[in-house]
């Protein structure tokens, strides 16, 4: 990419104010394959100034024209779809098949959903003699993670632009190439200058500056709960709106009437997908106490079907973790699980056989896990499943809710009505019953320390709009 060492500001590719480079590491080889520039306060100031100057014109642009621009972006995205899949596969080690079918798809899928939502959104509506208007929040700072790069970029950028906001995007510096490519798509789609801006950099040097910037009206952040707290604290100084999608430790309750073989197999493979690097992964599997041994055997068999290997090989189903830091964290938590007395069903410490180079880990399953154990409480962000037991439904629900997080939860049952009843008692922003298809129009976001606000389709549009009541309109 010729633009990797530049930033996209005010409709043009520009160098950083002060040169500072960072090598981008291929996690499958542990070798650098590209360089990006790291921004600083001066770069943020320039991008924010461009977004602020563009705001009034873009906010006044008719919704139909903003939708037309988004449709042009979708056309560009689809025309260069394979480039996006390859970029994501390279930067985060995603198997190429997964990168195409899930990672790159998330970008086009969420853009389509946002467009459809904008076409039917209630931008204004009467209530008695008052007219309720939905207007853009303003200049938005968007800070996105490395684990689902296009999913999170599009979940923020698409609704923000459709709502009439202007944006400054900071992708993760760990997996930045998809963000640079996306900025090229924006440029090709012909958005007015200053409407979209991109500055690469670290959370400290760029993200925190954005969070506290007086000319940014809203920050939307996806990442760890620790970093989210820091963003919110900094943003509070200027009383800006903050939307956060943070950590998770999602329970997967398998009820006694569920098909145990199917539920455990699917639940195990869901944890292993994306190398376990999904905030809503069902990492705590709850099974009836009498089924623990059987569930461990099924989970072990499922985990051992995972094909760990070269991300460029279409037969690979699990690539490496994204970085050395992530590898060390996952190894530490696997070691903690062993030392605290959980039963290791498969996997464990070290790299899989034949994978000495790259941040590869073994698909790992622990059984006989209790709620007090570290691996049941801390977000591991790797392919590690913990199986816990319960004796009755009330206990299962109590264990499921016994977490500081509340992003997602999963219920498996042969009785849909029973599953619905359990879903009502779970403290989570999303509950998935019996392995449903991905719904791009469902709200996504968390309870408790998993954040606030909601993303996807019209839910994202709501987050990026202010509500104005014009009293005496009629």
Alpha-carbon distance of 216 to 381, in angstroms, equals 31
**Residue 14 CA to its chain's centroid (Å):** 28
| Active-site residue, 245 included | yes
Query: What integer pLDDT is reported at residue 433 of this predicted model?
Result: 98
Structure tokens given for 69: 């621009």
Do the beta carbons of residue 383 and residue 276 sit within 8 Å? yes
Question: Is residue 165 among the annotated active site residues?
Answer: no
The torsion angle over the Cα atoms of residues 392, 398, 403 and 405, rounded to 10 degrees, is 100
Q: Residue 194 — left, alpha, or beta (φ > 0 → left; ψ -120 to 50 → alpha)?
A: left
The residues with which 130 forms a beta bridge, in sequence order, are: 127
Name the catalytic one among 165, 173, 279, 379: 279
CA dist 34 and 82 (Å) reads 19
Closest CA to 4 of 221, 173, 204, 147: 173
Q: Are strands 251-254 and 284-288 parallel, antiparallel or unpaired?
A: parallel
Please return the burial class of 167, using the count of CB atoms within 10 Å of its CB with bins 0-12, 13-18 and 19+: buried
The residue assigned the tokens 């440029």 is 187
Partners of residue 344 on adjacent β-strands = 366
Residue from 91, 112, 173, 245 carrying the catalytic annotation: 245
Collapsing DSSP to helix, strand or coil, 95 comes out as coil
Looking at residue 223, what is its pLDDT? Answer: 95
- The three-class DSSP label of residue 411 is strand
Strand partners, 20: none
Write out residues in the chain with pLDDT < 70, as ranges. Answer: none
The length of the chain in residues reads 474
Residue 357 pLDDT: 98
> Tokens 């408790």 appear where?
448
Q: Are strands 284-288 and 218-222 parallel, antiparallel or unpaired?
A: unpaired
Distance of alpha carbon 5 from alpha carbon 21, whole angstroms: 8
Q: What is the pTM of this model?
A: 0.97
With contact defined as beta carbons under 8 Å apart, do 376 and 369 qualify? Answer: yes
Q: Are 298 and 269 in contact (CB under 8 A)?
A: no
Distance CA 324, CA 331 (A): 11
């Amino acid at each position: 990419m010729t633009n990797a060492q530049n930033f996209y500001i005010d409709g043009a590719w520009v160098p950083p104010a002060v040169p500072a480079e960072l090598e981008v590491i291929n996690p499958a080889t542990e070798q650098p394959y590209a360089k990006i520039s790291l921004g600083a306060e001066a770069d943020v100031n320039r991008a924010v100034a461009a977004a602020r100057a563009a705001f009034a014109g873009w906010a006044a642009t008719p919704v139909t024209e903003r939708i037309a621009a988004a449709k042009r972006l979708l056309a560009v995205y689809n025309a260069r779809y394979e480039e996006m899949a390859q970029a994501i596969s390279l930067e985060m080690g995603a198997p190429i098949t997964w990168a195409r079918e899930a990672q790159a798809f998330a970008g086009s899928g969420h853009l389509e959903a946002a467009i459809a939502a904008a076409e039917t959104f209630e931008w204004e509506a009467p209530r008695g003699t008052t007219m309720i208007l939905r207007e853009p929040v303003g200049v938005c700072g968007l800070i996105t993670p490395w684990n689902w790069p296009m999913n999170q970029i599009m979940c923020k950028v698409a609704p923000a632009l459709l709502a009439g906001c202007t944006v400054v995007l900071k992708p993760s510096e760990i997996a930045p190439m998809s963000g640079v490519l996306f900025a090229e798509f924006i440029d090709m789609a012909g958005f007015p200058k200053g409407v979209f801006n991109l500055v690469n950099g670290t959370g400290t040097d760029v993200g925190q500056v954005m969070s506290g910037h007086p000319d940014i009206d809203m920050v939307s952040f996806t990442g760890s709960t620790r970093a989210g707290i820091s963003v919110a604290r900094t943003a509070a100084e200027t009383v800006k709106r903050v939307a956060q999608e943070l950590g998770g430790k999602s329970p997967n309750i398998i009820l006694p009437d569920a098909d145990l073989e199917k539920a455990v197999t699917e639940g195990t493979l869901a944890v292993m997908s994306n190398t376990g690097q999904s905030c809503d992964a069902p990492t705590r599997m709850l099974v009836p106490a009498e089924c623990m041994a059987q569930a461990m055997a099924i989970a072990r068999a499922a985990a051992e079907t995972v094909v760990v290997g070269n991300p460029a090989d279409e037969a690979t189903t699990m690539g490496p973790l994204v970085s050395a830091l992530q590898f060390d964290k996952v190894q530490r938590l696997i070691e903690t699980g062993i030392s605290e007395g959980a039963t290791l069903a498969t996997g464990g410490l070290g790299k899989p056989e034949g994978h000495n180079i790259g941040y590869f880990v073994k698909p790992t399953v622990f059984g006989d896990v209790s709620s007090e154990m570290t691996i049941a409480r801390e977000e591991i962000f790797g392919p590690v499943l913990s199986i816990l037991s319960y004796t009755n439904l009330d206990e299962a629900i109590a264990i499921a809710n016994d977490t500081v997080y509340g992003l997602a939860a999963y219920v498996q049952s042969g009785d849909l009505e029973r599953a619905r009843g359990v879903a009502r008692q779970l403290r989570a922003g999303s509950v998935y019953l019996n392995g449903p298809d991905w719904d791009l129009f469902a709200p996504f976001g968390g309870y408790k320390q998993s954040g606030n606000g909601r993303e996807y389709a019209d839910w994202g549009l709501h987050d990026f709009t202010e509500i104005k009541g014009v009293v005496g309109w009629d």
